Amino acid sequence: MVQYLVLAHAAAHPGLVDYPDNIRILDVLAQTGLLPEAEAGALADTYRLFRDRIHALTLQGRPAAVPAEEYTVEREQVRALWQRLMGA
């Protein structure tokens, strides 16, 4: 979703390509008004949550896939935002 927003809006907001990482890109998306600050913050928090879980799984020698039954609220929030952005 973050990379889609970069591709869709970088021509009008070149600051979106200043950073390679999703967290700082989310900050720029909020600063430019492309995402409300609360939504950008929630996405950043969810990204960190999943990233931390994937790192923990990897360190345990397990597949780097978060089971579908984990983080259902966060998954639904991301799904709803994506659908809103896509106009669905």
pLDDT at residue 42 in the model: 95
Q: What is the DSSP string of the chain?
A: -HHHHHHHHTTT-GGGGS-SSHHHHHHHHHHTTSS-HHHHHHHHHHHHHHHHHHHHHHHTT--S---TTSSHHHHHHHHHHHHHHTT-
| 22-66 pLDDT per residue, tens | 999 999 999 999 999 999 999 999 999 999 999 999 999 999 999
Task: Give me the pLDDT at residue 72, please.
Answer: 95
**Arithmetic mean of pLDDT, 2-18:** 95
Confidence (pLDDT) at 65: 92
